[in-house]
Amino acid sequence: MPAGTIEMTVTDTGGTPLGNVAITLKNEGEHFNYLLHTNARGFAGMQQAPVTRFDVTLELAGYQTQKTAINVLPVVVQRFEYSLQPE
């Protein structure tokens, strides 16, 4: 089965990396559900990610929840950058 790699960086609006951001990747139709957390540098990644569309939710106390969607492509490394707004 083809797979891809996703790398995500999460910062605040000033560009400071945010650690321990909960990132949920969900695909209801295919029953995929993954939970990642950013490290102290605001980075989270996933190798061998299923090639599919994911609904993405980013959550951290004190910041607004952000929702988006991504399409994982086969073979390539995809990089996504997110900026969370304070509550």
Assigned token pair, 51 = 């090639």
The CA-to-CA distance between both ends of the chain, in Å, stands at 41
Domain spanning 3-84: CATH 2.40.30.10: no
Sequence-ordered strand ranges (E) for the chain: 3-12, 22-27, 32-37, 43-50, 53-59, 66-71, 77-84
Contacts of 73 (CB under 8 A, 6+ apart): 4, 51
Residues 7-50 have pLDDT tens digits of 999 999 999 999 999 999 999 888 889 999 999 999 999 999 99
Single pTM value for the model: 0.94
Of 64, 66, 1, the residue nearest 32 (C-alpha) = 1
Give the pLDDT band (50/70/90) at residue 56: very high
